[in-house]
Structure 1
Amino acid sequence: MSMRLFLASVALVGSAGLAAAQDHDWTGVYVGASVGVTGSESDASVRYDDPGASYSGSASAGAPHGRWENGMYVSDLAREEHYDNVRASTTYGPTYGYGGTLTSVGSLDGATLGVADPISPWINSIANGDINVVGSLRIGANYQLGPVVFGAEVDGSLMKQAVDKAFAIGEGATIDASTSQCIVGGSPCTTTYYTDYQSEYSQSGGFTFESEASNIRTARARLGLAAGPVLVYATGGVASGDIRMKTSASVSEQVDNDWSGDTGSSPTDVGSGGVTNNTSWSASDSETKYGFAVGGGASYAVTDNVILTLDGYYYDLGRHSLTAVDNHGETSYTISQDFDGYVVRSGLEYQF
């Protein structure tokens, strides 16, 4: 929409100028100032990097090794507490004090890893579609040879094209399982021990991402055609800008396990366990990036010295990536963004 508006404006200015009888010599040095708008449609993408670390010890024996699964995070410390105790059917339940020998173990309904992972889904892309005000200063020179005008221009634009994304993490799930154990041999079983198990998982935290492209500077050549007081031109050259990226995230996991066992006539055995795991990520970076700018514009000479101008260009400063590693040094995520956009502006120039 902005490009169509720009082209229509160029055509309007050009038509008005062609209708005028005034003549103008475009050779000379000029300075100018303008205001306009800037925008970008470049979204940031997120990749979750899993180093493949696995946690094989007991839940209380070592450091938490985390992993990503389909853009979701969980620590093995919490995973083991939440899943493995339920699935380990041969050692399932509390230590019972009824004596006898275990001869059979029932199934653990719903306690397989195939259930939906109780992990918050994380972001995959970050939209960038804001339009902001831009102010520019420029200096340049033209040389006219017949209807053809050669030129060069240097300009700087005070602008800020920013992305600011934040969301809260909150998720929970519960696994219920039950089994029966015959603790006295024989057929039929003379004493059956019943066990119920419940594991509750919750995750909370937050995610933030900020990026910014500002202070775009260009040095461009210009080539145009003049018709009296009207000049229509194409332009292209190098561009530079200051970019900044910053991200942080945190997750607090809580697992609570409770189980109970009973023969139906003996007192109930109750056990419980749990684990809390806190993980955080952060990273920031800023630098000057270089790229290119291409565009076009039109100028109308009101007098020999005062010129109305309308122009625009597309700039591309390339792609930049930022990787945030967790506080355990094991998992990370990488955010990548193309820093490009457009500038459309109008203003006044003074030709010497």
Structure 2
Amino acid sequence: MALKAPPPPFTWNGCYVGIDGGGAHGHVRATDTLGGAWLTTPGVTPAEIAAIQANGSPTMDDDGLQGGAQIGCNWQTGPVVFGIEADGSYLGLSNSQFTFTPAAGGGGNVSNAAAESTNALFTIRPRLGFAAQNALFYVTGGFAEGHVTFADTQTYFATTSAASGQLQRWIGGWTVGGGVEYAIISNWIIGAEYLHVDLRSTSFTAPVLPGFATFLDTFSARFTEDIFRARVSYKFDWAPIK
């Protein structure tokens, strides 16, 4: 009776495609910086400038769903696994905030209405992992780019005027994180992953209108996200590294 050869040991060598989904938490720090005639007009005090800038600098937090897809390749030598991965995600993150300061710094009443959202994210990241048979533990980090919107309006009641504007653009930053994967049957792999994303800051400058075009407000926003997600991938084999 012929003996059946044992199956070859599992290897992480190969490329893969898959889908992922989970939750995301976003944090946006908005900042209003006054410039132009705000800094040179007699009667505008440092206390008033500080109060106006504080009113226009809210912090916004939001939670939403995340879903996307990934593609990558791994190279295994001994227990060490090197990889590269690119992924794209939908992020349902958005929030808005209204603030009001009466007699700001001894001046007039000021209000601020800010809104933000992040709806898409792409990353490309090297991965470095340690394989324990069918399990892989890894760290990862690299480039991230997100599509964001940011709108802000600062209203000055004493002059019945406002500085207002919005932006919608792709901004680049970085990401770092880690995860664990497990090969369950044949070439199917399940896993869980965490990523911290910092898209840095983006800004626009708006004049105070009507009537005060030389008074400028520069609104900026820094976007960060924390993503927790599960993933499923299918791996295409190639020959192991000798």
TM-score grouping bracket, smaller chain normalisation: 0.7 to 0.9
Separation in 2, partners of 1:68, 1:213: 36
1:246 paired to 2:232: no
**Counterpart of 1:279 in structure 2: which amino acid?**
S
Question: Greater share of strand residues, 1 or 2?
Answer: 2
Tell me, yes or no, if the aligned pair for 2:31 and 2:53 is still in contact at 8 Å: no
1:231 Cα offset (Å): 0.5
Separation in 2, partners of 1:146, 1:296: 20
Gaps of 5+ in 1: 1-21, 56-66, 74-118, 173-201, 254-276
1:149 paired to 2:85: no
Separation in 2, partners of 1:351, 1:122: 52
1:220 Cα offset (Å): 0.8
Q: Identify if the C-alpha distance between structure 1 residues 231 and 121 changes in structure 2 by more than 3 Å, giving closer, same or farther.
A: closer
**Counterpart of 2:136 in structure 1: which amino acid?**
L
Q: Secondary structure at the match of 1:70?
A: helix
**Aligned pair partner of 2:193 in 311, 327, 333:** 311
Gaps of 5+ in 2: 1-7, 237-242
1:278 Cα offset (Å): 2.1
Separation in 1, partners of 2:100, 2:173: 36
Name 1:326's counterpart in structure 2: 208
Tell me, yes or no, if the aligned pair for 1:298 and 1:309 is still in contact at 8 Å: yes
Separation in 2, partners of 1:207, 1:42: 15
Name 1:161's counterpart in structure 2: 93
Tell me, yes or no, if the aligned pair for 2:14 and 2:73 is still in contact at 8 Å: yes
Name 1:48's counterpart in structure 2: 34
- State the superposition RMSD in angstroms: 2.9
- Superposed CA offset, 1:242-299 (max 9, x none): 122211233333xxxxxxxxxxxxxxxxxxxxxxx42121122222111221111110
1:36 paired to 2:19: no
Separation in 2, partners of 1:135, 1:120: 39
1:149 Cα offset (Å): 1.2
Name 1:129's counterpart in structure 2: 61
**Aligned pair partner of 1:222 in 115, 121, 127:** 127
Tell me, yes or no, if the aligned pair for 1:26 and 1:144 is still in contact at 8 Å: yes
Tell me, yes or no, if the aligned pair for 2:27 and 2:223 is still in contact at 8 Å: no
Name 2:183's counterpart in structure 1: 301
- Superposed CA offset, 1:173-220 (max 9, x none): xxxxxxxxxxxxxxxxxxxxxxxxxxxxx9667421112233110011
Separation in 1, partners of 2:29, 2:62: 11
Q: Identify if the C-alpha distance between structure 1 residues 39 and 68 changes in structure 2 by more than 3 Å, giving closer, same or farther.
A: farther
Separation in 2, partners of 1:23, 1:210: 53
Q: How many residues align?
A: 224
Tell me, yes or no, if the aligned pair for 2:26 and 2:61 is still in contact at 8 Å: yes
TM-score (norm 2): 0.80
- Superposed CA offset, 1:109-131 (max 9, x none): xxxxxxxxxx9896153122222
1:68 Cα offset (Å): 6.3
Q: Identify if the C-alpha distance between structure 1 residues 120 and 305 changes in structure 2 by more than 3 Å, giving closer, same or farther.
A: closer
1:289 paired to 2:194: no
Separation in 2, partners of 1:240, 1:331: 33
Tell me, yes or no, if the aligned pair for 1:169 and 1:251 is still in contact at 8 Å: no
**Counterpart of 1:150 in structure 2: which amino acid?**
F
- Superposed CA offset, 1:1-33 (max 9, x none): xxxxxxxxxxxxxxxxxxxxx952211121111
Structure 1 segment 206-217 matched on structure 2, within 5 A: 206-217=111-122
Structure 1 segment 1-352 matched on structure 2, within 5 A: 23-49=9-35, 50-54=38-42, 67=44, 69-71=46-48, 123=55, 125-167=57-99, 206-253=111-158, 277-327=159-209, 328-352=212-236
Q: Percent identity?
A: 26
Q: Which has the larger radius of gyration?
A: 1
Q: Secondary structure at the match of 1:40?
A: strand
TM-score (norm 1): 0.57
1:42 Cα offset (Å): 4.3
Q: Secondary structure at the match of 2:47?
A: coil
Q: Identify if the C-alpha distance between structure 1 residues 316 and 171 changes in structure 2 by more than 3 Å, giving closer, same or farther.
A: closer
Tell me, yes or no, if the aligned pair for 1:326 and 1:332 is still in contact at 8 Å: yes
